[in-house]
Amino acid sequence: MTDVVELSETELDELRSAVRSFLEAKSPEEAVRKTMESEPRYDPQVWAQMAEQLRLPGLAIPEEYGGDGFGQVALGAVLEEMGRALVCSPFFATVVLAARALLASGDSDACARHLPGIAAGTTTAALAVAERTGAWDPVQITTRAVRRSEAPSGGWELTGTKSFVIDGASADLLLVIARTTAGPSLFTVDRGAPGLTAEPMETLDATRAMARLRLDGTPATPVGTDGAGGRLMARVLDFAALGLAAEQTGGAARCLESSTAYAGTRVQFGRLIGSFQAVKHKCADMLVQLELARAAAREAARLADLGDEGFAVAAAAAHLTCSRAYMFAATENIQVHGGIGFTWEHPAHLYFRRAKSSQLLFGGPSASHERLLERLGI
């Protein structure tokens, strides 16, 4: 295990503050609404500034590959702020999914080839795992990898369709799980490779871009051990669930902030609605759910940085806890706002959409519960 650079609580607070200030300036609600309706579904200039000014893409990448070597605790602080701002960015796809897949592969050559670009923010990447059902189940991988002696890129070609690929339409580098005779395996595919087409998917949450990838004899380069894709998917999914939990915590926190602010200004029947017991209870219940979620996500991140064997269980539990908290907060936020909370003009529905899509991202609640039981050895 690579040593993780630790941050003190003061330094973590400073990191959160810096990221929040940056996102408030560069990704306010108006910018989010504009970006989520454009292609690519992010602002390349803001992404470049995020890399050059804050060095966020390389935050959790080991120093040997051009990163800063901070761990999941620091990464979680950044993801909380990104979830709070609903920022449209390839950060989750590139850093949480693709970079982690490269590290989990154990292929030092592939890491040395691709991670420095990711750390510098000059390469965006996406991980293509799910297919028609959206499940991350190795058994359901039908995309085929075939070795052709006359084919380029190491002689491998991929054929199949991948769905729900986060930022798959704009990524410079694609990491694809495909099935060989040895089992699911990881491959890299360059953007613009022959036989590759990527089309944006219309989904519930427009702030998180997704794509459908079609591969038709597309040249690919193998990464890591042939047939080790199942173990790699499980490892990446643990970190992905943890990163998503941090994002969800930030979103839930923003919903609570929005509700309490509105309850402190909206007057009805001659009184602030925040003085009504029903509204007080809603906000109090949101706070309880938020604190549980925050504790679960941060504890799982701490265990990850320690290399603790209980990390996988903690990550699965954190995703479940944070999914529930975010859905609850997003729903109650709409209720506290009343009629205006149901309108397109109000941001409450954007958080509700993100909350629901995040809950379903890796197969939904049933798959998440199964994953937790599996990690517990049940």
Percent of the chain with pLDDT over 70: 98
Alpha-carbon gap, residue 345 to 141, rounded angstroms: 40
pLDDT at 128 over 60: yes
Q: What is the pLDDT of residues 31-85, one digit of tens each?
A: 999 999 999 999 999 999 999 999 999 999 999 999 999 999 999 999 999 999 9
Give, for 147, the enclosing helix (H) or strand (E).
strand 144-147
Q: Which of 9-13, 103-107, 132-136, 278-282 has the lowest mean pLDDT?
A: 132-136
Q: What is the pLDDT of residues 194-241, one digit of tens each?
A: 999 999 999 999 999 999 999 999 999 999 999 999 999 999 999 999
Asked whether the whole model's pTM tops 0.85, one would answer yes
Give residue 2's pLDDT: 54
Write down the mean pLDDT value for the chain: 94
Q: What is the pLDDT of residues 108-125, one digit of tens each?
A: 999 999 999 999 999 999
Enumerate the domain spans of the chain: 9-123, 126-227, 231-375
Give residue 1's pLDDT: 46
Ramachandran assignment for 245, one of left (phi > 0), alpha (psi -120 to 50 degrees), beta (any other): alpha
Confidence of residue 175 (pLDDT cuts 50, 70, 90): very high
pLDDT at 150 over 60: no
Alpha-carbon gap, residue 16 to 182, rounded angstroms: 44
- ∠ CA 201-203-208 to the nearest 5 degrees? 90
pLDDT at 273 over 50: yes
- What does the DSSP 8-state code read for residue 156? E
- Mean pLDDT over 276-302 rounds to 96
Give residue 364's pLDDT: 86
CATH of domain 9-123: 1.10.540.10
**Is the separation of the CB atoms in 111 and 65 below 8 Å?**
yes
Q: Please enumerate in sequence order all residues whose Cβ is within 8 A of that of 371, keeping only pairs 6 or more positions apart, or say none.
A: 237, 241, 316, 362, 363
pLDDT at 131 over 50: yes
pLDDT at 336 over 60: yes
Class of domain 126-227: mainly beta
- Mean pLDDT over 89-117 rounds to 97
**Is the separation of the CB atoms in 348 and 338 below 8 Å?**
no
- What does the DSSP 8-state code read for residue 6? P
Give residue 252's pLDDT: 98
- Mean pLDDT over 302-321 rounds to 95
Alpha-carbon gap, residue 211 to 240, rounded angstroms: 18
Calculate the dihedral angle through the C-alpha atoms of 317, 93, 47, 207, rounding to the nearest 10 degrees: -70
Distances (CA, A) of 152 to 156, 244, 339: 7, 36, 59
Q: Please enumerate in sequence order all residues whose Cβ is within 8 A of that of 175, keeping only pairs 6 or more positions apart, or say none.
A: 98, 101, 102, 125, 126, 127, 128, 186, 187, 188, 189, 223
CATH architecture of 231-375: Up-down Bundle (1.20)
**Is the separation of the CB atoms in 209 and 41 below 8 Å?**
yes
The one-letter amino acid code at 91 reads F
Residue 161 DSSP SS3 = strand
Rounded to 10°, the helix 311-337/348-360 angle is 150
pLDDT at 24 over 90: yes
